[in-house]
Amino acid sequence: MPVYLKLQDCNTVPSAAPDSLNQLRRAHVAVLGDVMLDRYWFGRVERISPEAPVPVVQVGREEERPGGAANVALNIAALGASCRLRAPVGRDAAADSLDSLLRRAGVETHLVALEGLPTTVKLRVIGQQQQLLRLDFEERPDEEHLHGLLLDDEDFFVGMAALLLSDYGKGAVHDPQAWIRLARERQIPVLVDPKGRDFARYAGATLLTPNKSEFQAVAGGWKTEEEFHALARHWRAAWQLEGLLVTRGEEGMTLFLADGMHHHPAQAREVFDVTGAGDTVIATIATAVAAGWPLDRAVELGNRAAGIVVGKLGAATVSPLELAASFEAVHG
């Protein structure tokens, strides 16, 4: 399993890193979203099956990692912050594994077990460091299962300084307006990693973070940077957002606020795997916002985190030590 570092585990922070990086360990972030268990079977391939033209994988190692909103929560905990996670799961061994992995990493879990529905599991078969096959085990709960179920915990927001909605389209965030309203009543900023083609359902959030293809699917395409800026400004206002952040892969990420635009070029020197990079970005931004950082600075930190995590295999996390080292590398 990957190692998750707490900020207090880092004895020194490079002098080039901002002092405010130490504020992250005082952040308290609540996460609501779709969780899943990522299973990996690693092995070697030495022959083709005589039964069909497919490789035979001799499995030598198995691994389980929290995925989806659970990976978001791990990223927050890895920054040394406090994280409280609420999500629907099944009554099964996969849910038990998720709960154990999350608690071991320091996440406060509020997993809601639903009768008759499985915990989402994604099984990846990997041979010679290449993914050969993915098997998904999932069933989307209907709204009857979820109605009121995730809103019945009066203590969920106590002590929290930000709410992160991690929507993977599996049903947990079926009523984002209810959560946005509850958070706003408590003056808690709401950050959303969206799914689908109806971003109006997230209206009133503090920050929305679609990737380029997701934003294009909703807002339409563009031919020039000026057209992109015009679309983003329009939809930020239409969706009543404080900020709209469009992540653009190798083009970096662009934040639109009421008072202007902030572009952050991509930081990665070498891209090995983009799996889970979006989780790392929004987890880092939410942690910084919960620590009192303004959105533009929080996004800058999220961009640095993205540049680190894409150099790792699979859904991974970024530690404060790695973030601090990124400042040291820039400033020498």
Active site residues: 279
Round to whole Å and give the CA distance between 93 and 39: 13
Round to whole Å and give the CA distance between 229 and 246: 10
Q: Which residues of 86-104 are buried (b: 16+ CB within 10 A; e: fewer)?
A: bbbbbebebbebbbebbee
Handedness of CA 143, 147, 153, 157 (dihedral sign): positive
Q: What single-letter amino acid sits at 61? A: R
Query: Do the beta carbons of residue 199 and residue 290 sit within 8 Å?
Result: no
CA distances 24 to 7, 79, 104, 143, 161, Å, are 8, 7, 20, 36, 12
Query: Do the beta carbons of residue 287 and residue 299 sit within 8 Å?
Result: no
Round to whole Å and give the CA distance between 299 and 295: 6
| 200 phi and psi angles, rounded to 5 deg | -65, -20
Map tokens 């078969």 to a residue. Answer: 125
Round to whole Å and give the CA distance between 147 and 136: 25
The alpha carbon of 180 is separated from its chain's Cα centroid by a whole number of angstroms, namely: 18
For residue 60, the surrounding DSSP H or E stretch is strand 55-68
Round to whole Å and give the CA distance between 219 and 27: 33
